[in-house]
Amino acid sequence: MILFKEGRMRSGNDRRRLTPTAKRMIFDQRGATAAIFAISLPVLVGMGALAVDVGIWNVQKRQAQGAADQAAYSAAVSSKAGNDLANVTSDARAITASMGFSHDPVNGVAVAVSNPPTAGQFAGDAGYWEVTVTEPQATWLAGYLFGGTATVNARAVAGGASGGNACIIGLNTTESDTVRVWGSGVIDSPGCNVFSNSNSSQALVCGGSCTIRASTYAVGDHRVQGSGDLLGAVNATGRSPVVDPYADVTVSPPGSCTTANNSPANNFNLTPNYYCALNISNTVNLSPGVYYANTLSVSGTLNAPSGVTIILLSTGNNVFSTNGSPVINITAPATGAYAGIAIMSLTSSSSVMTFNGNTTFRTTGALYFPNRAMKFLGSFDNTKCTQLVANKIEITGNANMHHNCPGAGIRSPGGSTVALME
């Protein structure tokens, strides 16, 4: 080996005269480790920063999910109490704010409250409420090193665990045809549910050219005949009976009835009272309030567009009847003892109340006859939220009903049962 020093060549013998310190300096390779470490340091620091940030995001994600869960449950409870969309939204956002997620679009924090849900298995079902929480996250060192942004998202859905939204409820527990859609009868209301509490093998019957485009639930079994078709998202049998949503409603007759204005003239403005009979053969306007009558007969236009409940007290057969081409335009009160009920009778009869093929129901609220059977040959206004609750129900006409009316006072089966579903 030849060494150079100060421009002079030295032999291998000169190498042996190097000091130990000089030798260590010449042959030391530890500087390579230091260089590798220096090069790797930014990557190691970035990975550590990302790990810290991800840990923080996971904690925030869990907290956001907890807030969404609580808010969705609160929204469902608030809705069942009769609150409208604005008040339900306010209640839900108050819950998330108390848990550290205040709705603040300016800073990117969004708490969205939707009825019906926009996604998932309950999408389009007005018996359920969806809450989403979105919050941008600080990225700290990870953002400085890698760039980009991070957002925490949480979603929850809550609603009636036993029942959900219902347009039609047949309460009879043993008889066949408790809910019967026959002939050219149509229920085209995908967001509604149809319930039959009967344990019969024909608890719910769809026959002739019947079409039911709504979810159906029966304690017993379905029976489909002819060209009938069940097209609902769910067609379930063997279910538990649902609770009568208005079972707690009671009626106290207010003294004696009056015969005055029992057959009001055209465009007459009727006021709340107890009438011996109400015979509507013209266009009659009803002021808001509760009307008691022994019987109701409509062959003209009953116009009660704001907060009216009609309570029928007769124990006879013809407690409620229609003739000709009547129009029943009635909106139930949203609050109070009779919230959500448009027309009701708690009396019983073995006769079937039949509404002819020209009757048009433009009704927001329930037609509630728990001890009577009803047969509908007419039609329903599908822009109105109509609910049929009766001992037995037969439909041979067009029963297309709107179903999304938050705050209308209409109750869903299952009482106040609420559960977190998603």
**CATH fold for the domain made of 31-159:** Pantoate--beta-alanine Ligase; Chain: A,domain 2 (3.30.1300)
- Helix H segments across 279-376? none
Average pLDDT, the chain: 83
Cross-strand pairs, 137? 150
User: Is 80 exceeded by the pLDDT of residue 400?
Assistant: yes
Question: Which of 220-250 are b and which e, b meaning 16 or more Cβ less than 10 Å from the residue's Cβ?
Answer: bbbbeeeebebebeebeeebebbbbbbeebe
Q: What is the pLDDT of residues 18-33, one digit of tens each?
A: 666 656 655 555 555 6
Q: What is the pLDDT of residues 179-230, one digit of tens each?
A: 999 988 898 887 778 999 999 999 999 999 999 988 888 999 999 998 999 9
- Please report the pLDDT score of residue 126 as a whole number: 65
Residue with tokens 């953002």: 143
Tokens of 159: 């609603």
Parallel, antiparallel or unpaired: strands 150-159 and 128-137: antiparallel
Whether 215 contacts 191, CB under 8 Å = no
User: Of how many residues is the chain composed?
Assistant: 422
pLDDT-based confidence at 234, cuts 50/70/90? confident
Angstrom distance (rounded) from CA 397 to CA 35: 86
Show me where the domains of the chain are located: 31-159, 166-413
Spell out the residues 6+ positions from residue 263 whose beta carbon is closer than 8 angstroms to its own.
279, 281
Closest Cα to residue 124, out of 115, 134, 136? 115
pTM: 0.64
Closest Cα to residue 242, out of 280, 208, 209, 216? 216
- Please report the pLDDT score of residue 301 as a whole number: 96
Q: What is the pLDDT of residues 338-352, one digit of tens each?
A: 999 999 999 999 989
φ, ψ for residue 88, nearest 5 deg? -65, -45
User: Is 90 exceeded by the pLDDT of residue 286?
Assistant: yes
DSSP code of 127? T
Residue with tokens 């403005």: 269
Parallel, antiparallel or unpaired: strands 186-196 and 168-170: parallel
Give me the torsion for CA of 90, 94, 100, 105, rounded to 10°: 20
**Average pLDDT of span 5-29:** 54
Angstrom distance (rounded) from CA 396 to CA 415: 29
Whether 213 contacts 191, CB under 8 Å = no
Tell me which amino acid residue 313 is: L
Angstrom distance (rounded) from CA 284 to CA 191: 33
Whether 326 contacts 284, CB under 8 Å = no
Angstrom distance (rounded) from CA 368 to CA 204: 19
Cα Rg, the chain, nearest whole Å:
36
